[in-house]
Amino acid sequence: MIEVTRHDIVIVGGGAAGLRAAIAACEIDSNASIALVSKVYPMRSHTVSAEGGAAAVARDDDNFEMHGYDTVKGSDFLGDQDVIKYFVEQAPRELTLLEHWGCPWSRNEDGTVATRAFGGMSTKRTWYATDKVGFHMLHALFQHSLRFDNIVRYDEHFATKLLVDGGVVRGVAALDIRSGIVRVVLGRAVIMATGGAGKIFPFTTNGNIKTGDGMALAYRAGVALKDMEFIQYHPTGLPGTGILITEATRGEGGYVINSEGERFLATRDYGVGTKAELGPRDMISRAIIQEIEAGRGISGPYGEYVHLDLRHLGEQKIVARLPMVREISKIYIGVDPVHEPIPIRPVVHYMMGGIDTDITAGTSLPGLYAAGECASASLNGSNRLGSNSLTECLVFGASAGQNAMAFARGSSEGSEQALRREGEEEAARIVALRGKQKGGEKLARIRADLHKAMESGCGVYRSAETMNETARTVAQLKGRYADVALEDSSAVFNTELVAALEMGNMLDVAEAVANSAASRDESRGAHTRRDMPNRDDQNFLYHTLCHFDPAGPRLGKKEVTLGHWEPEERKY
Amino acid sequence: MKHPLLKLEPLIWLLFGQGILLGTILLTPWVLVVGLGVPLGIVPAEALSYERAIALASHIVGRLILLGLIVLPLWKGVHHMRHSFIDFGGAERDALVAPLLYLLATIGSVLALVAVVRI
Amino acid sequence: MSDGQQKKTFVITRFDPDRDDAPRKQAYEIPVHPDWKVLDALNFIKDEIDATLSHRWSCRMAVCGSCGMMVDGEPRLTCKEALDQYGDTVDVAPLANFPVVRDLVIEADGFMEKLTSVKPWIIRAKELAVEEGPMRQSPGELEEFKQFSMCINCMLCYSACPVVANEPEFIGPAAIALGHRYSLDSRDEGAAERNEVFRGEGTVFSCSFANECSEVCPKHVDPAAAVNQAKLNAAIDWATSLVLSRGGSK
Amino acid sequence: MSRNAHPHAMAPSKPGRTRTAPPQLPDRFPFGGRYLAYTLFDLTGILYLLLGLLVLCAVWSLGSGEASWNAVLERHRNIFYLGFHAIALAGLIFVGIRFFGFFPKAQPPRVGPLKPPPKGAILVGLYALWIGVTVCLSIVLAGGVFQ
Ligand SMILES: Cc1cc2nc3c(=O)[nH]c(=O)nc-3n(C[C@H](O)[C@H](O)[C@H](O)COP(=O)(O)OP(=O)(O)OC[C@H]3O[C@@H](n4cnc5c(N)ncnc54)[C@H](O)[C@@H]3O)c2cc1C
Ligand code: SF4
Ligand code: F3S
Ligand code: FES
């Protein structure tokens, strides 16, 4: 049994990118019907957990050229330069809009918006609202979106399939988690804004919902996933839980120290130069691993770590600028940063790669747009600079909304009959999976094995051998997944069913990550190989594309758009 | 349950609030002296002799204080009783009970006015 | 670590509308880790013992607001509450005062409606253009509403408030706090509109200042303060509108 | 087990999409844990109502002449009246302490251009007022002044 509804456009995802897209669409046409499908209530989206800030040129001593250069250099020159230029120019406008919509940005004494330093940024250009930036941005966006009654929300609906008819995207099939019904939500354009996929790794800052669903849906619908090998490790995660301690701690002047109390980023040569703690994430993560390998880590119940020391900032500054860091440290690791250094180690944080999009947020599939972490517009290249991604969600969320609306106007509705049939097939698949007793595999086992494989093959340091091994394991896991047995046959709020669907998506994303990684025979940005430590612009200054094929992924290449900044050695 | 009283809710709440605030402040000395001190003989009975009571009460300040001493606690009383009634599961009957309680307080308030004028 | 093998029993309220007439209790005895939060235990049960257990969670860092439940009778964020503060038996139930969808999952749509009803967005007589740039707001002006903007919509306050339990129309602590937050924002001009809402069907005056909402709020929003401030503002607004409409009636 | 809350508590305006179990009140309500103080606080409503009515009676009698006033004074010596006033005093102090504690935070940071004094100052002011008025009025009533 399915239910069919029609809208002008369908947005999948209620995080910063999805909400921004919805609002952008409303601004164009306040009568258009906009479906917002999200597997959690929008304000629960993982944007909520972003802490440090959002970057945009704001100060007199800053300009677009500098923001652009920092970004392209951070990307290890794999960022598309037209995209970067567009992004930095739109950024101030987008953050200003958010200010108009009520986001409680922290302020300078004169009432202007305050900015802070961030890793890899050459000046203070990160707007912040203490250290709960994502939370405040998401709630401001969500609350602002509530004023438009033409946004029709499908809360707690899990999109499982892109519906394509005549080569054009016409909507999605979505499981209503609450009732178990499958809805066919039709629109003349679809925007994917489903966020990242950190959950394919065991140790991540990402929440439970970040399972790469949108990437997998697009991938299976024939759109390439781009640059999937680039997984950002954030240097400062709490051992055990992986909860993030924001980079703003370093922006505000925190030190990273080893077991000997040494500020190794400043004293040793890790490529970050005088930036020390304000270097980019990939370099600092590698430095921490090297310190640990050199025996200068501290060992604890959850493995080796180093320290993030904020004590010299003083209680007043910590309370005023970093209240959440203090709260989190106290609750989740039992440390008060005012008096003790915080244990930290690199943790999987962000996917530079994603659905292959261009400067318009469009994809190779007509009618399909993507924005936010699930997309790869090639802003971030091989390494994202902290605080660029929240802004990215806004900039490309807005263009996705605008361009999808424009596309929808010129597009027909597609054959309802065909789409209904597709929806029914999807519903049948889901019903068959629900409480499927036959099978010898347990979901939790598959997840554990996936985690192990991804960590060993796609960690901070990689090698041909481990990556290929991981790619093989993932392929096996896909086979085991087909044999999974489930226990819960209830139609209502069946979270086991949702987890099983998510597992299918994670395996597809993991497949793309492992295979893309194995194909890049160089070290660049977050992709660091022990066996090939150097960057190779001659052969590898291109984007990796990974295409879905039931027989196994097919890899391809895409040009990097250069033209403004010449690639050079990345040294700070 | 929507009832016409909703419109007057701000007024009721203001009276109620003052009942807690000023009512408590004014009632404390009253209970201490009139309710306990004099009857227990701690305070000499002459303090509340008819003549003295009349003299104090007929002053304009005296009249105002007495008015406050009656009206404010009445409103605090009925409003809280309404809350209690709802808390103990009477929400369905609120549309009936609330007007009755507020009527009681209104009648009491009118009588209070008469009483202080008539001294 | 896990060698000590401390065990605890979790008595969990279960309800499957497909099968159960009414909620029932089910006990699980599991080994627990000293560092665990309550949520870790639930996830262990789901992964290892009973995959049919349903509960909401995501961020596991006390910011997404999805994991609220009654733990030993008190509304708590399960990802924030350390297990070691509880005894050998821990009772976990869905949030009080909400209809129960399944197991530990409650109906949140009613809350979403209340949240929307207070117009939680910046209202201005004339919308600003982006070109005008960010508005100015002093740190002092920010301070006036900052605390009330910290709400994560976890709804714990709703399950503690006796008025919410008994008066279905009551807008309730978090939503009123949110509306009040916008009215206090120096960039907003919509206070009068919201006061209208506050005096309407789910009137703020229903709140009996139980203060339970603030007691249980994991984010120190102090919604009781917001609700009671909103009362005063709504009352003042009512009084002035009374005077004005009498004086200004043409 | 706890009692059911109002059947429509926190229900959406349109009926939910699946069958739900009815909302329950928190286990401890109304007399357990912190709820006890709240419930008692509300129940002091009865005390205040009775006190208001007693004062009304007294004032009315005062206006009716000496005899009825003296009857009032006489009545107050009755053990029930004394007991009631003792309980009432406890109730007043309880209400005062609980409410004055909450009062400062119930003041908006701004009403138009007006800002209230700092919270600490409000609290000190309230207690000063309470004690001050109690002492002064008690002295007046007890015949300390205006003889
Ligand atoms: C801990 C942490 C801190 C961070 N700090 C910063 C920072 O300081 N600065 C910065 O710039 N960036 C930061 N980031 C990165 C940034 O927050 C994210 O990249 C960004 O929030 C992603 O937003 P999004 O809208 O793309 O996705 P999300 O916010 O993850 O939202 C995804 C949405 O898609 C929905 N969805 C997913 N799958 C489905 C499906 N199958 N069906 C229906 N709906 C679905 C979800 O319900 C959700 O609404 C941080 C990230 C983390 C994890
Ligand atoms: S006010 Fe506090 S308890 Fe209530 S929803 Fe918000 S954060 Fe949760
Ligand atoms: S608990 Fe409820 S009664 Fe008022 S003070 Fe909070 S809203
Ligand atoms: S899981 Fe997000 S608040 Fe607990």
Q: Which domain holds residue C198?
A: 109-248
> What ipTM score was computed for the predicted complex, to two decimals?
0.96
The predicted-structure confidence for A337-373, as pLDDT tens digits, reads as follows 999 999 999 999 999 999 999 999 999 999 999 999 9
Distance from CA of A334 to the nearest CA of C (A): 10
D12 interfacial to chain C (CB closer than 8 Å): yes
Distance (Å, whole) CA A206 – CA A187: 30
All residues of chain C having their beta carbon less than 8 Å from the beta carbon of residue A147 are 119, 121
Hey, are the CB atoms on D134 and B25 less than 8 Å from each other? yes
**Which amino acid makes up residue A320?**
A
All residues of chain D having their beta carbon less than 8 Å from the beta carbon of residue C96 are 2, 5, 23-27
Mean pLDDT value across residues C150-170: 97
Same domain, D35 and D91: yes
| D136 falls within a domain | yes
Q: Can you tell me which residue has the tokens 């090698």?
A: A463
| Residue-wise burial string across B40-67, b where 16 or more C-beta atoms lie within 10 A, e elsewhere | eeebeeebbbeeebbebbeeeebbebbb
* Cross-strand pairs, D24: D4
Spell out the SS3 assignment of A208-262: CCCCCHHHHHHHHCCCCEECCCCEEEEEEECCCCCCECCCHHHHCCCEEECCCCC
Distance (Å, whole) CA A244 – CA A49: 9
Same domain, D44 and D57: yes
Hey, are the CB atoms on C205 and B10 less than 8 Å from each other? yes
Mean pLDDT value across residues A102-129: 97
All residues of chain A having their beta carbon less than 8 Å from the beta carbon of residue D17 are 176, 178-179
Same domain, C101 and C115: no
Same domain, C190 and C99: no
The predicted-structure confidence for A456-497, as pLDDT tens digits, reads as follows 999 999 999 999 999 999 999 999 999 999 999 999 999 999
Q: Is the pLDDT of residue C249 over 60?
A: no
D77 interfacial to chain C (CB closer than 8 Å): no
Same domain, D113 and D82: no
Number of domains, chain C: 2
According to DSSP, residue B69 is labeled H
Q: How high is the pLDDT of residue D1?
A: 44
Ligand 2 atom 8 nearest Cα: C154
Same domain, D101 and D29: yes
Same domain, C50 and C74: yes
Question: What residue ranges define each of the domains in chain B, with the CATH number in brackets?
Answer: 2-117 (1.20.1300.10)
Facing D11 at nearest CB: one of C99, C184, C228 = C99
| D137 falls within a domain | yes
Same domain, C133 and C80: no
Pairing relationship of beta strands A157-165 and A342-351 according to DSSP bridges: unpaired
Ligand 1 atom 44 nearest Cα: A38
Same domain, D87 and D117: no
B93 interfacial to chain D (CB closer than 8 Å): no
Same domain, D94 and D137: no
Hey, are the CB atoms on D49 and B81 less than 8 Å from each other? yes
Same domain, C43 and C137: no
Q: Which of B3, B8, B12, B14 to mutate to test the interface with C (most CBs of C within 10 A)?
A: B14
Q: Is the pLDDT of residue A454 over 80?
A: yes
Distance (Å, whole) CA C61 – CA A132: 12
Task: List, in order, residues 6 or more apart from A27 with CB less than 8 Å away.
Answer: none
Contacting partners of chain D (3+ CB pairs under 8 A): A, B, C
Same domain, C135 and C242: yes
According to DSSP, residue A385 is labeled P
Distance (Å, whole) CA C130 – CA C127: 10
Contacting partners of chain C (3+ CB pairs under 8 A): A, B, D
Write down the mean pLDDT value for chain A.
97
| D81 falls within a domain | yes
Q: How high is the pLDDT of residue B7?
A: 84
Interfacial residues of A (vs D; Cβ cutoff 8 Å): 176, 178-179, 492
Q: How high is the pLDDT of residue D112?
A: 79
The predicted-structure confidence for C103-146, as pLDDT tens digits, reads as follows 999 999 999 999 999 999 999 999 999 999 999 999 999 999 99
Question: Which residues 80-119 of C are in CB contact (within 8 Å) with D?
Answer: 93, 96-101, 106-107, 109-113
CATH number of domain containing C86: 3.10.20.30
| A436-559 is a CATH 1.20.58.100 domain | yes
Maximum Cα–Cα distance for chain A, whole Å? 69
The predicted-structure confidence for A144-193, as pLDDT tens digits, reads as follows 999 999 999 999 999 999 999 999 999 999 999 999 999 999 999 999 99
Mean pLDDT value across residues A53-64: 97
Same domain, C140 and C99: no
User: Are the C-beta atoms of A470 and A456 separated by less than 8 Å?
Assistant: yes
Distance (Å, whole) CA A263 – CA A296: 12
Distance of CA C185 to the CA centre of its chain: 21
- DSSP per residue over A39-79, as a string? SS-GGGSGGGG--S-EE---STT--HHHHHHHHHHHTTT-S
- Supply φ then ψ for residue A55, to 5 degrees: -95, 135
CATH number of domain containing C131: 1.10.1060.10
Q: Is the CB of C178 under 6 A from ligand 2?
A: no
Q: How high is the pLDDT of residue A114?
A: 97
Distance (Å, whole) CA A183 – CA A154: 10
Same domain, D28 and D51: yes
Same domain, D94 and D113: no
| Residue-wise burial string across A255-285, b where 16 or more C-beta atoms lie within 10 A, e elsewhere | bbbbbeebebbbeeebbbeebbbbbbbbbbb
Q: Decide which of C79, C106, C133 is a domain's last residue.
A: C106
Distance from CA of B110 to the nearest CA of C (A): 22
Same domain, D116 and D63: no
Q: Which domain holds residue D95?
A: 23-106
Q: How high is the pLDDT of residue B2?
A: 53
Pairing relationship of beta strands A342-351 and A231-237 according to DSSP bridges: antiparallel
Same domain, D101 and D114: no
The predicted-structure confidence for A537-564, as pLDDT tens digits, reads as follows 999 999 999 999 999 999 999 999 999 9
A27 interfacial to chain C (CB closer than 8 Å): no
**Other Cβ atoms closer than 10 A to A445:** 13
Distance (Å, whole) CA D47 – CA D65: 27
Same domain, C116 and C128: yes
Mutate to test the pocket of ligand 1, among A10, A36, A40, A47 (most ligand atoms within 8 A of CB): A47
Domain A235-349 fold:
Flavocytochrome C3; Chain A, domain 1 (3.90.700)
How many residue pairs from chains B and D have C-beta atoms closer than 8 A? Answer: 177
Q: How high is the pLDDT of residue A413?
A: 83
Mean pLDDT value across residues C217-232: 98
Q: How high is the pLDDT of residue B6?
A: 76
Of A355, A383, A387, A455, which is closest to residue A247 (Cα–Cα)? A387
All residues of chain C having their beta carbon less than 8 Å from the beta carbon of residue D6 are 165-168
Distance from CA of D8 to the nearest CA of B (A): 11
Percent residues over pLDDT 70 in chain A:
100
Distance from CA of A233 to the nearest CA of D (A): 42
Contacting partners of chain A (3+ CB pairs under 8 A): C, D
| C208 falls within a domain | yes
Query: Domain-by-domain residue ranges, chain A?
Result: 235-349, 436-559
Q: Is the CB of C210 under 6 A from ligand 3?
A: yes
- The tens place of each residue's pLDDT in chain D, 147 residues long, gives 468 999 999 999 998 889 999 999 999 999 999 999 999 999 999 999 999 999 999 999 999 999 999 999 999 999 999 999 999 999 999 999 999 999 999 999 988 788 999 999 999 999 999 999 999 999 999 998 876
User: Are the C-beta atoms of D110 and C184 separated by less than 8 Å?
Assistant: yes
All residues of chain A having their beta carbon less than 8 Å from the beta carbon of residue D18 are 178-179, 492
The predicted-structure confidence for C10-66, as pLDDT tens digits, reads as follows 999 999 999 999 999 999 999 999 999 999 999 999 999 999 999 999 999 999 999
- Supply φ then ψ for residue D125, to 5 degrees: -60, -45
Spell out the SS3 assignment of chain C: CHHHCEEEEEEEEECCCCCCCCCEEEEEEEEECCCCEHHHHHHHHHHHHCCCCCCCCCCCCCCCCCCEEEECCEEEECCCCEHHHCCCEEEEECCCCCCEEECCEECCHHHHHHHHHCCCCCCCCCCCCHHHCCCCCCHHHHHHHHHHHCCCCCCHHHHHCHHHHHCCCCCCHHHHHHHHHHHHCCCCCCHHHHHHHHHCCCCHHHCCCCCHHHHHCCCCCCHHHHHHHHHHHHHHHHHHHHHHHHHHCC
Q: For the purposes of burial, counting CB atoms within 10 Å of the CB of A358, is it exposed (0-12), middle (13-18) or buried (19 or more)?
A: middle
- The tens place of each residue's pLDDT in chain B, 119 residues long, gives 456 777 899 999 999 999 999 999 999 999 999 999 999 999 999 999 999 999 999 999 999 999 999 999 999 999 999 999 999 989 889 989 999 999 999 999 999 999 999 98
Distance (Å, whole) CA C157 – CA C159: 5
Number of domains, chain D: 2
Question: Which residues 197-226 of C are in CB contact (within 8 Å) with D?
Answer: 208-212, 215, 222, 224-225
Q: Decide which of C83, C106, C129 is a domain's last residue.
A: C106
